[in-house]
Amino acid sequence: MTRTLKTSVAEMVEAARARIEEIETPDAIEMLGDPEVVIVDLRDIRERERMGYIPGSFHCPRGMAEFWVDPDSPYFKDIFAKDKKFVFHCASGWRSALTVATLNDMGFPAAHLKEGFGTWEKQGGPVVYPETDRTK
């Protein structure tokens, strides 16, 4: 059976991208080390371990994002109370586009890394490779 959906994920991502702040990779690389910027990694922990991660990035599994930014949620994380610029990223910018659109709808200001981690590494962004992955 082929199910017909009301909208495709590609349409959802496109609509999200049209209304959120997108940050190009070179600009994000320049932001690295800025104490006013927090880079938030939405990828699965296994992707982080396998592919490496942006130095200093904060890991927030995509499934928890709404709960971690909401001060009224029992899962709230203090880091999101800080008056910083939050830049969310995933692998290719799809998950982060959807997440940031939702967070913006909640009233939480955030931007996303337009092309994600793959482009980050290709364009020379520094990467931390977890010890465990080096031996695999």
Ligand X SMILES: O=S(=O)([O-])[S-]
Report, in Å, the least distance between residue 64 CB and ligand X.
16
Exposed, middle or buried by CB within 10 Å (0-12, 13-18, 19+), for 104? middle
In this chain, which stretch among 18-26, 27-35, 93-101, 103-111 interacts with ligand X, using CB under 6 A?
Answer: 93-101
Q: Which of residues 104-133 bind ligand X (CB under 6 A)?
A: 116
Write the CA distances from 88 to 13, 20, 53, 115, 118, integer angstroms. Answer: 15, 11, 13, 11, 14
Smaller CB distance to ligand X: residue 76 or 118?
A: 118
Strands 21-23 and 37-41: unpaired
Report, in Å, the least distance between residue 93 CB and ligand X.
5
What is the Cα–Cα distance from 43 to 117, expressed in whole angstroms? Answer: 9
In this chain, which stretch among 63-71, 72-80, 91-99, 124-132 interacts with ligand X, using CB under 6 A?
Answer: 91-99
95 binds ligand X, rule: CB under 6 A = yes
In this chain, which stretch among 22-30, 66-74, 92-100, 124-132 interacts with ligand X, using CB under 6 A?
Answer: 92-100
Smaller CB distance to ligand X: residue 16 or 91?
A: 91
Whether the Cβ atoms of residue 112 and residue 46 lie closer than 8 Å to each other? no
52 binds ligand X, rule: CB under 6 A = no
Exposed, middle or buried by CB within 10 Å (0-12, 13-18, 19+), for 84? middle
Please report where in the chains the tokens 């991208």 appear, as a residue: 17
Select the residue interacting with ligand X from 22, 70, 79, 94 (CB under 6 A).
94
> Which residues lie near ligand X (CB under 6 A)?
90-95, 116
